[in-house]
A and B are shown apart, each in its own frame.
Chain A
Amino acid sequence: MPVTHTSVDAEAAARLVAFGMRPKQLPARDVVYGELVRRYVEDNAFKALTHAVAAGLGLMVLEVTQQAGCVLAATDESVFEIKMDSYARQAKIRERRETEKVLHGLIHLATAALGYPRPDDLANDTYIGRVSVEQVDAMVREAARVLDERAQEAEANNDPLADAPELEQAWRAYARRPAAAATKDGRMAADTTRGMVARALRFLAEQGFLVPVSDEQGGTYRTTPRYQVQVRELAADAAFDDLLALDVVAVAGAGGTLRAAASDTLQ
């Protein structure tokens, strides 16, 4: 049976997509939005129409639920996409741009990993994680320390080669960057790791992925269902595919692998 859409249907579908572009608006707080989400879930023809409207705009509908609302992602070269280049633009020229990009990407990765420490947390729709500037920075530094110990156990001299800086491992670049630095007027410098983490969390909060909770630990936030959908349905796979291509994959257990450090330095 051919499905016919009226212009009223098209408008409703477009309106749902438009709601998705306002990440802080939630179906629970808006009757019209809530009604559109309900219709999307129940009406398959409307669902297909919404997807078509989004695709025409250069968007992808990741998920539409009452908790998260309409979660959209930009397709490549869409006007809606956010490029790393523009995000990392403030980086100083003297530092290699690639290093800067990797550090920003790692910080976002670590934020997600801290927000959803176990695979189950990411799968569980009702899970709400907490992240703070201090914890994100500390987690990456701890991971770098573990990798450092692992490298030392391998007993090879693995200090980076002086004439091939691009072969230096990412954790070294992170560990080398200071966590905090005082500027002349006593504020926190922005090119430190804590400055970069603070920026990432503020950015995610503006995108409706995190909600500020308090100023403790340099700024504490909780995750939103929207962030969970974004990480689960898109981001994790995007990065994982790259790692698959590079052939560096670990098999996960149900408990997750975020653990305390082994106390092997204190003998």
Chain B
Amino acid sequence: MTAAGLADEGLTRRLKALACTAPLHDLDARKAKLDWADATIYQMAEIALHTIDQVTIAMDFDTGAGHDEVIDRLLPFIAVQAPSRMPDEHVRVAKWVLDNLINVGTTDRGFRRVYGSLGPGGYQRRQFDFKLLVELAAPDGEVYLRATDEAINVLVGALDTDVESAQIAAEVKLENLINRGRLADAKLAAEQARYRTVQYGETLRAKLDATRRDVRAVDWEDEVPELIESALGHIESRFRAENAILKNITTARDESEDADHKRRAAELVDIVADCIRRHTRLQSRLADAGAVFRAEQDRQQFSGPPQRATLDLFGQLLMPTLDLALADAVAPAEHFFHAVAGIAPPVVPSLSSLVSLLLRPAPERDQLIGEIPEPELVPAEVSDRFGDDVWRLADELLDLPEVPRRLSGLLADARRSGQPGLPSLVALRALYAYSPEVGAARRQGERQVLLAVDDGTLLDDPDFGGADLLLYTAQVERADDETEEVA
């Protein structure tokens, strides 16, 4: 049982990792169906990976990447894939990929995969929800993008690794590679190291966010100083390592004769310099966090015992309710709202206030609802090929309740009437009746339906070809299951 359980867990993890890549494959699968361009020329999964790349690189403590910024950075990459296409189309492809990675259009803006797991309850289907890019609001109200842990894991290809040890490994690898002059590999390792740095910063950012909200009952004796100290120690060691690497490659860059080597070394310098910049920012955050802690503690330290029995809203109401199943949580959530919402006096119109209401200038718009653009309406073009009287004549001709008639005979009658277009309409309707929509006719309560049967006779006609169909109007019976009687 234990062994089976372990194997199952590994399977689940791999299934989840696999699921994270599904949206990328999905892009390539769907690209042929886009109606605004022949998008098969683009490698969508590549563009998507590149998008996640760009967002990850642009992420730092406060903000992530703006939508427009990401699209701008994507354009050169897309343009290389299809140089012959217009720049407008490139922009559109970039937006399409970005929207699909966010999964715009779903309420949760995420992805869901169902996977099976074997547990004590037998085989159960479970859902795995994940996101690749998320949108968050910056303090100034702008919306920006961040890559999720899942996305970074998909990108770096290292699931379930310890952040810190992976970072050390990458640094060592980087130094070795530089010493041996393998700059291409060194660049890769440096980029991976940067992703690790970002990932590490992400974890700390979440921590600091909690810290800022957190106020009471923080363990100032051990926990917080330990946290800050270990983070600072981490930064210090990274600083030393990265500065050493920076010195090495700067020398490599300046001394290298090979232009390609020089360029790669220069790129590496940029990447490592960026890592150092990130560490500096992280460090200043940590320094601030201490001050926030002290200020909050001063502010909130003095609290007497409760003066009367009240509930602990967070611990006794919010947490238990959050932990309930959705079906169970409805009652407390609804009752709390009902009680906290207060009262709404019914609105009674009074003439004097109605007049002033009507004379009032239009109110400011709600900030959540955008301005609705005024559509420019063009009167619809008359698209009816056949006029009303032609239809009426065709109706008369095709009303055949008694005996079935051949299409050739009907066409002859239609020509005789001299009405232009009537033969074409009769022929078209006869053709349509070859596959009569009996079900639809029954649903819509039609009394009769025109049927056409091909008995193998060829139509001998100057304008139309095909079979000389036998046409008959069948009654639709609506009372019982025998829906129609066919001629």
Q: Residues on A close to B: CB < 8 A?
A: 21, 23, 59, 72-74, 78-84, 87, 92, 94-96, 98-99, 101-102, 104-106, 108-110, 112-113, 116-124, 134-135, 138-140, 142-145, 147, 156-157, 159-163, 165-174, 176-191, 194-195, 198-199, 203-204, 207-209, 216-218, 227, 230-232, 234-243, 246, 248-250, 252-263, 265-267
Which residues of B have CB within 8 Å of A82? 338, 341-344
B321 and A243 form a contact (CB under 8 A):
yes
A134 to chain B, nearest CB (A): 8
Contact B207 A261 (CB under 8 A): yes
The CA of A189 and the CA of B333, in the complex, are separated in Å by 23
Across the interface, which residues of A come within 8 angstroms of B343, CB to CB?
A: 21, 59, 72-74, 78, 80-82
> For window 162-204 of chain B, which residues contact chain A by CB distance below 8 Å?
162, 164, 203-204
B479 within 8 A of A: no
Complex CA–CA separation, A242 to B231 (angstroms): 43
A87 to B309, CA, bound (A): 31
Q: A255 touching B216 by the CB < 8 A rule?
A: yes
Cβ of B440 to closest chain A Cβ, rounded Å = 27
A157 nearest CB across to chain B (Å)? 5
In B203-224, the 8 Å CB interface with A consists of 203-204, 206-207, 209-211, 213-218, 223-224
Which of B's residues lie within 8 Å of A, judged by CB?
Answer: 9, 12, 67, 102, 104, 107-110, 114, 117, 119, 124-129, 131, 134-137, 139, 141, 143, 162, 164, 203-204, 206-207, 209-211, 213-218, 223-224, 226-227, 230-231, 303-346, 367-371
B316 to chain A, nearest CB (A): 5
Given A113-B317, A188-B368: A83 touches B338 (CB 8 Å cut-off): yes
Asked if A180 contacts B107 (CB within 8 A), the reply is no
Residues of chain A contacted by B230 (CB below 8 angstroms):
266
A241 to chain B, nearest CB (A): 8
- The 8 A-B pairs with the shortest beta carbon distances in the complex, nearest first, are A105-B333, A260-B214, A257-B315, A252-B312, A235-B339, A113-B313, A239-B336, A235-B340
Task: Tell me, rounded to whole Å, the shortest Cβ–Cβ distance linking A31 to chain B.
Answer: 23
In the bound complex, what is the Cα–Cα distance between A237 and B308 (angstroms)? 14
Residues in B whose Cβ lies below 8 Å from that of A232:
310
6 extra interface residue pairs, beta carbon distance < 8 Å, beyond A82-B344, A105-B336, A118-B303? A108-B340, A112-B313, A117-B215, A117-B216, A123-B306, A174-B322
24 A-B residue pairs with CB within 8 Å: A73-B343, A99-B326, A118-B312, A119-B310, A119-B311, A120-B303, A122-B313, A142-B213, A145-B206, A147-B323, A159-B117, A161-B125, A161-B127, A162-B126, A167-B327, A176-B110, A181-B143, A187-B367, A204-B340, A236-B311, A236-B317, A240-B316, A256-B315, A265-B207
CB < 8 Å A-B pair total: 347
Q: Are B367 and A159 in contact (CB under 8 A)?
A: no
Task: Check A199/B223 contact, CB under 8 A, given A110-B318, A138-B213, A144-B322.
Answer: no
> In whole angstroms, how far apart are the Cα atoms of A20 and B52 in the complex?
55
Tell me the smallest distance from the CB of A152 to a CB of chain B, in Å: 12
Residue of A nearest to B119 (CB): A157
Task: Contacts A120-B304, A263-B207 given; indicate if A105 touches B322 (C-beta within 8 A).
Answer: no
A113 and B217 alpha carbons, distance in the complex (Å): 16
Q: How far is the CA of A256 from the CA of B313 in the complex (A)?
A: 8
Partner of B135 from the list A110, A157, A160, A180 (CB cut-off 8 Å) is A180
Residues of B within 8 A of A237 (CB): 311, 339
Q: Give chain A residues whose Cβ lies under 8 Å from the Cβ of B371.
A: 185
Alpha-carbon distance between A254 and B316 when the two chains are bound, in angstroms: 12
**A233–B345 alpha-carbon span in the complex (Å):** 21
Given the known A-B contacts A235-B340, A236-B317, A243-B332, are A183 and B223 also in contact in the complex, defined by CB atoms under 8 Å? no
Q: What is the CB-to-nearest-CB distance from A70 to chain B, in angstroms, rounded to a whole number?
A: 11
Asked, given contacts A87-B337, A198-B368, A263-B223, whether A143 binds B319 with beta carbons under 8 Å apart, the answer is: yes
Which residues of B are found within 8 Å of A108, using beta-carbon distances? 333, 336-337, 340-341
A170 and B329: CB pair below 8 A? yes
Question: In the bound complex, do residue A250 and residue B126 qualify as a contact, i.e. CB atoms below 8 Å apart?
Answer: no
Partner of B129, one of A176, A238, A252, A262: A176
Once the chains bind, are B223 and A262 in contact (CB under 8 Å)?
yes
- Tell me the bound Cα distance from A174 to B323 in angstroms: 11
Contact of A256 among B314, B326, B346 (CB under 8 A): B314
Alpha-carbon distance between A87 and B337 when the two chains are bound, in angstroms? 10
Complex Cα distance, B339 from A239, in Å, reads: 9
Tell me if B310 and A256 are in contact (CB < 8 A): no
B137 near A218 (CB under 8 angstroms)? Answer: yes
Is A101 touching B210 in the complex (CB atoms < 8 A)?
A: no
Contact indicator A254/B306 (Cβ below 8 Å):
yes
* B303 and A161 within 8 A (CB): no
Q: Which residues of B contact A23 (CB under 8 A)?
A: 342
Nearest Cβ distance between residue A34 and chain B, in whole angstroms? 21
Looking at B313, B326, B339, which has the most chain A CB atoms within 10 Å of its CB? B313
Cβ of B125 and Cβ of A143 under 8 Å apart? no
With CB as the reference atom, state the residue of chain B lying closest to A92: B107
Which chain A residues border B214 with CB–CB below 8 Å? 259-261
Nearest-neighbor residue (CB-CB) of B209 within chain A: A138
Task: Indicate if the CB atoms of A172 and B338 lie closer than 8 Å.
Answer: no
Would you give the shortest CB distance from A92 to chain B, in whole angstroms? 6
Contact B313 A236 (CB under 8 A): yes
For residue A225, give the distance in angstroms from its CB to the closest CB of chain B.
13
Complex CA gap A116/B227 in Å reads 28
Specify which of A217, A241, A250 is in contact with B319 (CB 8 Å cutoff): A250
Chain B neighbourhood of A119, CB < 8 A: 306, 310-312
CB distance from A191 to the nearest CB of B (A): 6
CB-based contact A109/B326 at 8 Å: no
Give B60 Cβ to nearest chain A Cβ, in Å.
Answer: 18
Q: Given the complex, which residues of B lie within 8 Å of A122, measured CB to CB? A: 310-311, 313
Within the assembled complex, what's the spacing in Å between the Cα atoms of A148 and B315? 16
A170 touches B321 (CB 8 A): yes
Bound state CA distance, A116 and B371, in angstroms? 37
CB A58 to nearest CB in B, in angstroms, measures 9
**Contact between B314 and A238, CB atoms less than 8 A apart:** no
Complex Cα distance, B342 from A59, in Å, reads 10
Give chain B nearest CB distance to A190 CB in angstroms.
Answer: 4
Give A49 Cβ to nearest chain B Cβ, in Å. 20
Tell me the complex Cα distance, A218–B330, Å: 27
